[in-house]
Structure 1
Amino acid sequence: MELSALTLHEALDLLGSGATTSVALTEAVLGRIDQVEPKVQAYLTLDREGALRQAEAADIRRKNGQNGPLNGLPLAIKDLLCTTTMPTTCGSRMLEHFVAPYDATVVGKLAEAGSVLLGKLAMDEFAMGSTSENCAFQTPHNPWKLGYVAGGSSGGSAAAVAADECFASLGSDTGGSIRQPASLCGTVGMKPTYGRVSRYGLVAFASSLDQIGPLTKDVRDCALMMNVISGFDPHDSTSINLAVPDYTATLQDGLKGITIGMPAEYFGQGLDAEVDKAVRDGIAMLKEAGAEVVEVSLPHTDYCVAVYYLIAPAEASSNLARFDGVRYGFRDTSADSLIEMYNRSRSRGFGDEVKRRILIGTYALSSGYYDAFYKKASQVRTLIKDDFARAFARCDLMVSPVCPTPSWKIGEKADDPLALYLSDILTLSANLAGIPGMSVPCGFSSAGLPIGMQLQAAHFNEEILLRAAHNLEQRAGVAGKKPVIA
């Protein structure tokens, strides 16, 4: 097997035995990037020289017995995590040349663990999108079928992992932006509980919904990444001060005594037949592992899209007000007045989807409409959270599809924002409720495109998600399959 095709835990085993070095692993991944990146287009920034320097330092640490849990492993991150060594563009012209004065907490945690940071990955502008087509610079392709979407907004993060252009990556999930691209690209992706992973240094889209999480080649790698990035951070007022378990410790446990809920609302009209079959086959495998399956109900599911697309744009309208051409970011220098400078800088710096959501959010927060829209959406959000609480009183975790369909052609839905918004209908509710969710591969469509199963659990119960996902992975026979990038 090529070194670039290894999982994190396989690479760690080789490093521990002395069979390879961090420099060799990094060179192999850089060689893979040279080979496939012109077709996949996952990277916005690649720090080749910096990565090799970090790899050399990792080999010295290993020689001196100073190993971190990810020492010498080449990783990449979504381009909305602040870094001092390379630009943080958020996929936008507004921040095209912005270099942050500090590192995000998760970036610091990866560095402390000894990892090698290869670069920053393509994404929808300011994380607003479902296909990464809203990126101002390039659109990543699905490695399983070039010309098809990699998902979004963490499309580059999923595509890079699927194409072996890094061993693992970090993305962010506001309404499914880790789980949906993970499903479309055949990787494992986790959105942790809100507050489990620090958001400090994450450029905000919707602050009450955003959460950072890993995209990996298999479930064990996901657990390894969660061990590193989880934990309390005093810099983040929404960070929860809870002990972090060893997520790898219970992966091998069976599912006897575990009850799995099937939300009836997630298996209805509009679900692709091949997706439905693959997920139901996966559920049968979980039953074989000892789980009991019951039907549960989330009666307010029909309101999730409406609630999300009021709350998220409202928070985005507030968060993105800072990009005014004054303090940092793009500034239109041709303006003759301050108001004109604001207008031109924001009009030229932001793309169409970002401007659309700012307008929706500003309207929802405006005088006379706040109670009718934002306040009402917040009240229904509470009802959605209550639905999950009642469901988890009957089951330990819930299973469903991640996306109603497999991947589709780039450009196919680009002019239909509503169709794109509906592609997230099965993932939005986890963010509204703040619960953990993940996608794990469970099959392929007849066209050879990956299909993922979504697992959701009660707050801070990531362990049971990883355990169930590992059991499915062992039975589904999907892990380890690689796309052929012609």
Structure 2
Amino acid sequence: MSTAMTESFDVNAELTADQLVRLTALQMAERLAAGTTTSVELVQAHLDRIAEYDGDPRSDAASDRGVRAYLHVNTDEALAVAAEVDAIRAAGGAEAEALHPLAGVPVAVKDNIVTVGQPTTAASTMLDGWMSPYDAHVIERIRAAKLPILGKTNMDEFAMGGSTEHSAFGITRNPWDLDRVPGGSGGGSAAAVAAFLAPFALGSDTGGSIREPAAFTGTVGMKPTYGAVSRYGVIAMASSLDQVGPAARTVTDAAALQQVIGGHDRRDSTSLPDEQADFVAAAANRDLTGVKVGVIADQSTEGFDAGVKAAFDADVQALRGAGAEIVEVSCPHFDAALAAYYLIMPSEASSNLARYDGVRYGNRVVPEGGGTIEQVMAATREAGFGPEVKRRIILGTYALSAGYYDAYYGSAQKVRTLVQEDFAAAFEKVDVLLTPTAPTPAFELGAQTTDPMAMYLNDIATIPANLAGVPGLSVPGGTVDGLPYGLQLVAPAREDARLYSVGAAVEALLDERRGTPVWAQAPDLVKGAERAAAPTAGGQQ
């Protein structure tokens, strides 16, 4: 297993706990294999950092200035798994040789992925306190590889939102600026990784919920090919769009985590039967020579921040200078993708969430004095669902109703086909497509909570990949006004390895531009400082 971005890494160096948590996941794995660090030390270092700096999303205290990435911290089990891994390595022999290379490296998990022994709430009052009787497929893979699970991360309720402000249990903050959002719906996972509260994490991506938080937090987020990672045990929002994937600080770490969780699962009818490529080997690439990179000539940039446009143009020139061939391509239907998505996704969500009625699933609310089943269902849904979830359920139910199905849902599916055809035509000319991941850097907390349309527009660049089922990867592209922005790479379906290969090369090329969040410079500043100045996309202060 190769390690990205580790040319000067000394596996035998003596490190403090603060230095340990700043290593990449693969650097941690190398130290574990070399015996210079134990898994218990790694896990305890992360738990201590979480205890000191994360804070509680459910707290209303103005003095609580933590990132608030975790909804639940899995202290006892994580330490027990770590101790087990350490004991196996210390004993040596066949069992030690059979350990997965990442065994003992801790991981965080988004709270819509069911996990035995920990609450799985999807950040909703509807599931508050629910304990799953079974593990999701990806959790089974994590446990088999003996990665200690640090806990469950905050998210927008039922993955509906673009800022992690729609959690029923409180907001998560961006480590770059605690008064800004970390993106959504998987802001908890991305913020935990960016703030060194976990080396990598699992997320889910329905319209950009791994990639947009990665862009807002200066991290790496991967949406694999649809079906490349099983959705068994993942609380569904929109079944034809949802996909589990990794959040990490480097492309190679993301590749390594997908290597763990990917592969066929007979319990998921959409799971691909393909044998996985070696994603970690693919991510060892540092050469862009001859790679054909497509830039979409006819995609509207209305609403894109001027700084993001300038940073993107600078990065395109950097890729050209590194030997990539920049090719303009036409994807004329991408501008209609957003409208199509916000008909397809709510329609599927309204169907998936119909089961949460207090009778079949979910916490039950009984009206005072009792009531009929219909009254119990109404009271349960009124109390159990937040405003954004209700909005999308109503929209989806309307789009599926008699007389409107063909006009709305049916038309949206036709647009989906046209988007897929645009991708197919583009990939006949280029190896990957390149766009900004999001039209703006992270916005301030509360800035868009009263304007759903503004929130939805944040997904304009990420949604097409979900509609087409192709893989998308967000890597740090630099900073705009001291805040990170992301570059999105998209490849054809089943070409996740190509995406990791090109993504690693782009990451290495632009590494000096990515800057660092305030946490990386002085953790104590998390309790109220302004964000530190960081290099812009052009490398200037």
Alignment partners' CA distance in 1, 2:112 and 2:449:
22
Q: Does 1:444 align with 2:479?
A: yes
Q: Is residue 40–residue 86 contact of structure 2 (8 Å, CA) maintained in 1?
A: yes
Aligned to 2:32: 15
Aligned to 2:323: 290
Q: Is residue 363–residue 369 contact of structure 1 (8 Å, CA) maintained in 2?
A: yes
Q: Does 1:145 align with 2:143?
A: no
Alignment partners' CA distance in 1, 2:321 and 2:48:
41
Give the 5 Å matches for 1:47-58. Answer: 47-58=74-85
List 4+ stretches of structure 1 deviating above 6 A. none
Identity of aligned residues (%): 48
Which amino acid in the other structure matches residue 349 of structure 1? G
Shift of 1:131: 0.3
Aligned to 2:507: 473
Deviations 1:387-433 (A, max 9, x none): 11001111010001011000011001110000000111111110001
Give the 5 Å matches for 1:117-136. Answer: 117-136=149-168
Aligned to 1:362: 397
Q: Is residue 197–residue 239 contact of structure 1 (8 Å, CA) maintained in 2?
A: yes
Deviations 1:136-170 (A, max 9, x none): 00110000000100000000010000000011001
Gaps of 5+ in 1: none
Alignment partners' CA distance in 1, 2:35 and 2:140:
27
Instruction: Say which SS state the counterpart of residue 330 (structure 1) adopts.
Output: coil
Instruction: Say which SS state the counterpart of residue 213 (structure 1) adopts.
Output: strand
Q: Does 1:318 align with 2:318?
A: no
Aligned to 1:221: 253
Q: Using the TM superposition, name which of 289-298 and 269-278 deviates more.
A: 269-278
Which amino acid in the other structure matches residue 82 of structure 2? A
Shift of 1:348: 0.7
Instruction: Say which SS state the counterpart of residue 120 (structure 1) adopts.
Output: strand
Aligned to 2:303: 270
Q: Using the TM superposition, name which of 260-269 and 42-51 deviates more.
A: 260-269
Alignment partners' CA distance in 2, 1:439 and 1:425:
14
Residue of 375, 381, 384 corresponding to 1:340: 375
Alignment partners' CA distance in 1, 2:284 and 2:172:
35
Aligned to 1:409: 444
Q: Is residue 210–residue 245 contact of structure 2 (8 Å, CA) maintained in 1?
A: yes
Shift of 1:97: 1.5
Deviations 1:9-51 (A, max 9, x none): 1101111111110000001111111221021000001111111
Which amino acid in the other structure matches residue 376 of structure 2? M
Aligned to 1:172: 204
Aligned to 2:494: 460
Aligned to 1:308: 341
Shift of 1:257: 2.6
Alignment partners' CA distance in 2, 1:226 and 1:288:
30
Alignment partners' CA distance in 2, 1:26 and 1:126:
28
Instruction: Say which SS state the counterpart of residue 130 (structure 1) adopts.
Output: coil
Alignment partners' CA distance in 1, 2:134 and 2:440:
39
Deviations 1:148-198 (A, max 9, x none): 000000000100000000110010000000000000001000000000000
Paired residues in the alignment total: 485
Which amino acid in the other structure matches residue 140 of structure 2? G
Shift of 1:267: 6.2
Q: Using the TM superposition, name which of 331-340 and 408-417 deviates more.
A: 331-340
Shift of 1:458: 0.4
Q: Is residue 218–residue 479 contact of structure 1 (8 Å, CA) maintained in 2?
A: no
Q: Is residue 286–residue 468 contact of structure 1 (8 Å, CA) maintained in 2?
A: no
Instruction: Say which SS state the counterpart of residue 282 (structure 2) adopts.
Output: coil
Which amino acid in the other structure matches residue 333 of structure 1? V
Output the TM-score relative to the length of structure 1: 0.98
Shift of 1:482: 4.3
Aligned to 2:48: 31
Shift of 1:479: 5.9
Q: Does 1:211 align with 2:228?
A: no
Q: Is residue 84–residue 103 contact of structure 1 (8 Å, CA) maintained in 2?
A: yes
Output the TM-score relative to the length of structure 2: 0.88
Shift of 1:229: 1.1
Aligned to 2:59: none
Residue of 424, 431, 434 corresponding to 1:396: 431
Instruction: Say which SS state the counterpart of residue 407 (structure 2) adopts.
Output: helix
Alignment partners' CA distance in 2, 1:209 and 1:139:
25
Shift of 1:478: 4.3
